[in-house]
Amino acid sequence: MTMVAPIKAVRGMNDVLPGETPLWERFEDAARAVFAQYGYRNLRVPIVESTPLFVRAIGAVTDVVEHEMYTFEDKLNGESLTLRPEATAGIVRACIEHPEFLYDGGPQRIWTAGPMFRHERPQKGRYRQFHQVDCEALGFAGPDVDAEQIVMLARLWKALGVADGIRLTINSIGDPAERRAHRVQLIAHFERHASLLDDDAKRRLHTNPLRILDSKNPAMQEMLHAAPRLVDLLGAESRAHFDGLQQLLADNGLAFEIDARLVRGLDYYNRTVFEWVTDRLGAQGTVCGGGRYDGLFEQLGGKPTPACGFAIGIERMVLLLENAATAGDGAPVAYIVHVGPAAAAPAFRAGEALRDRGHVVIVHAGGGSFKSQMKKADASGARFALIIGEAEAAAGTVAVKPLRATGEQVAVASADVAARLEALAS
């Protein structure tokens, strides 16, 4: 029989196997539950939209529209169609198309989730088909809704046990008139330093000078740092909006950093922009990005409708959850190592006693030497090994050995193990 070459998945488009889906489901369930607490309802839009929707919404001179869209011609009628690179444009289109929902129904909080497509160079955390969970608050003008979304995200990180690893950056990119004034000053600044501009920057100088600020080119950093900052040119209303947001975040105990160079890669934003970034994923550390887009409805032919939203990259969240698991979160508090026939029953009982108090515990099964069991204990991510040998079994004790921190192994009476672990773990 001749072998047929198997067909592979498209580069950058991944299968998610059952071994990985529990973390996806954990994230999706947590997101749904937290969003529901804030009154967000689910809306679903098509994966394919007409190309001009994205060009108009995201902006013709953006990486996404210039380089990354999967655009094709509908063979039947020649219409140009695009696999959605993001969800906001489609959601706004749907709201304009169904006026009874948004305009007659009043402001809405909605969420959606699903695959997005961008033709980027695949690497860890960056794919050509990736997935987002996306929230949009439509018809709300005040900074309270911006703050509410950010606080809601902080609650989600906490629910997932990843709050420590993600930090918040915010900025205001002002309103169109402020941006025009800033643009004029910015172009003048870049022209004064024309010899420092790389090709990309030169190309963008008159089309999208704001994006030059995003450049990572080391040779340009000093000049970029000295560039006029939009946040210094905000008018009274934008200033009040930005101050209002910061006040609400501070009132709710949220730490944030203001990054005057944060501009985001899509053109529809105004005033508030924000990103949540982690250091734990290497180069692709932005797990969530969003902001306000008060002009987008009009730009797409709808009535003026202030709005604010964000999207979370699910693959990046899953990578973060995997990291958290090996760093101890969600991992067992204890792995019980037992050697010799007399130790098996006390080990089993110790496991049950700890589970009675809600702990996650692995009792070693399948025999093996002390050394090989200790290796498994370490690999499990457990914080403590509980060791029961012949001597401990005879004495009714357990040896408690910290695995993640320095500390002596101590002998504890079996009945006191749970209390001792809880004291050590807190």
Q: Is 285 in the site for ligand HAM (CB under 6 A)?
A: no
Q: What is the nearest approach in angstroms of ligand HAM to the Cβ of residue 311? A: 4
Q: Is 315 in the site for ligand HAM (CB under 6 A)?
A: yes
Q: For residue 304, how many C-alpha atoms fall within 13 Å in the half-sphere facing its CB?
A: 1
Among 65, 83, 231, 311, binds ligand HAM (CB under 6 A): 311
Indicate which single residue of 165, 174, 313, 381 sits in contact with ligand HAM (rule: CB under 6 A).
313
Paired tokens of 235: 């008018």
Q: Binding to ligand HAM by residue 280, rule CB under 6 A?
A: no
Measured between alpha carbons, how far is 121 from 233 in angstroms, rounded to an integer? 36
Q: Which residue is nearest to ligand HAM (CB)?
A: 313
349 binds ligand HAM (CB under 6 A): no
Nearer to ligand HAM, 157 or 310 (CB): 310
Q: Does 130 engage in binding with ligand HAM (CB under 6 A)? A: yes
Q: Is 211 in the site for ligand HAM (CB under 6 A)?
A: no
Minimum CB distance to ligand HAM smaller for 238 or for 278: 278
Q: Is 157 in the site for ligand HAM (CB under 6 A)?
A: no
Q: Which is nearer to ligand HAM, 82 or 286 (CB)?
A: 286
* Shortest spacing between CB 296 and ligand HAM, in angstroms: 9
Considering the complex, state which of residue 157 and residue 293 has its C-beta at the smaller distance from ligand HAM. Answer: 293
The CB-of-127 to ligand HAM minimum distance in angstroms stands at: 4
User: 92, 154, 288, 354: which one contacts ligand HAM (CB under 6 A)?
Assistant: 288
Binding to ligand HAM in span 61-120, by CB under 6 A: 86-88, 118, 120
Q: What is the CA radius of gyration of the chain?
A: 27
How far apart, in whole angstroms, are the C-alpha atoms of residue 167 and residue 384?
29
Distances (CA, A) of 209 to 46, 69, 200: 33, 22, 10
Question: Least separation, in Å, of the C-beta of 7 and ligand HAM?
Answer: 23
Residues making contact with ligand HAM (CB under 6 A) = 86-88, 118, 120, 125-127, 130, 132, 134, 136, 265-266, 286-291, 293, 309-311, 313, 315-316
